[in-house]
């Protein structure tokens, strides 16, 4: 399945990220590389509100000011629609609901590290990727060296125990 949504203003492909992937990318020190991908990267205001540590918040706000990260805000009506939407009723966190809802609205792929969110989004026909995919994309597009990819994958494995270790190790071995 190909990437659907495009931003009419610049023709770039849209992709929306949740908190998990954003935190992973921040923690492995790959935010500049992440925003160098050929995507119009978006998120919701609720994801941004979850970034509490001032250094992380300032870092993300730098990319917002540079127009590398688009943050969607919502009207009261949209918030109500998200809250009572049947498609996202199985999710507990409103932040997650807002990301899936916006992804559906924009018909664009979504980045998440949350298994339940991924399954729900895929069942709705959305294209879904995670943190490992981000590193794959950086490598495939020659935005980082293979050595840097190995380093980022090792950092990812160290900071996020929920990720499939075997998939990360497979990629590391392939890159060596």
pLDDT tens by residue, 110-155: 999 999 999 999 999 999 999 999 999 999 999 999 999 999 999 9
pTM: 0.91
Per the domain annotation, does 84 fall within a domain?
Answer: yes
Q: How far apart are CA 20 and CA 113, in angstroms?
A: 5
Per the domain annotation, does 126 fall within a domain?
Answer: yes
> What phi, psi does 125 have (nearest 5°)?
90, 10
Per the domain annotation, does 24 fall within a domain?
Answer: yes
pLDDT at 152: 98
Total of domains in the chain: 1
Asked whether the predicted pLDDT for residue 88 surpasses 80, the reply is no
Per the domain annotation, does 27 fall within a domain?
Answer: yes
Per the domain annotation, does 161 fall within a domain?
Answer: no
Per the domain annotation, does 169 fall within a domain?
Answer: no
pLDDT at 90: 78
> What phi, psi does 53 have (nearest 5°)?
-60, 125
Per the domain annotation, does 17 fall within a domain?
Answer: yes
pLDDT at 18: 97
Q: How far apart are CA 117 and CA 123, in angstroms?
A: 10
Which CATH number do you get for residue 104? 3.40.50.1010
* Structural domain of 19: 13-130
Q: How far apart are CA 69 and CA 3, in angstroms?
A: 18
Q: How far apart are CA 104 and CA 97, in angstroms?
A: 11
Asked whether the predicted pLDDT for residue 159 surpasses 90, the reply is yes
Per the domain annotation, does 42 fall within a domain?
Answer: yes
Closest to 161 in 3D by CA, of 124, 113, 116 = 113
Share of the chain above pLDDT 70, in %: 94
| Cβ atoms of 14 and 42 closer than 8 Å | yes
| Cβ atoms of 100 and 88 closer than 8 Å | yes
Average the pLDDT over 21-31 and give the result: 96
Average the pLDDT over 75-80 and give the result: 96
């Amino acid at each position: 399945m190909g990437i659907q949504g495009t931003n009419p203003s610049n023709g770039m492909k849209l992709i929306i990220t949740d908190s998990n992937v954003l935190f992973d990318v921040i923690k492995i020190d790959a935010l500049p590389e992440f925003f160098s991908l050929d995507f119009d990267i978006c998120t919701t205001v609720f994801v941004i509100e979850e970034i509490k540590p001032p250094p992380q918040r300032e870092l993300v706000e730098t990319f917002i000011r540079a127009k590398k990260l688009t943050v969607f805000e919502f009207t009261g009506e949209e918030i109500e629609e998200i809250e009572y939407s049947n498609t996202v009723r199985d999710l507990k966190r409103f932040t997650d609901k807002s990301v899936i809802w916006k992804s559906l609205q924009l018909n664009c792929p979504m980045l998440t590290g949350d298994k339940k969110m991924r399954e729900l989004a895929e069942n709705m026909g959305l294209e879904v990727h995670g943190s490992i995919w981000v590193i794959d994309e950086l490598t495939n597009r020659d935005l980082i060296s293979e050595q840097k990819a190995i380093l980022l994958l090792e950092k990812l494995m160290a900071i996020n125990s929920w990720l499939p270790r075997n998939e990360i190790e497979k990629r590391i071995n392939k890159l060596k």
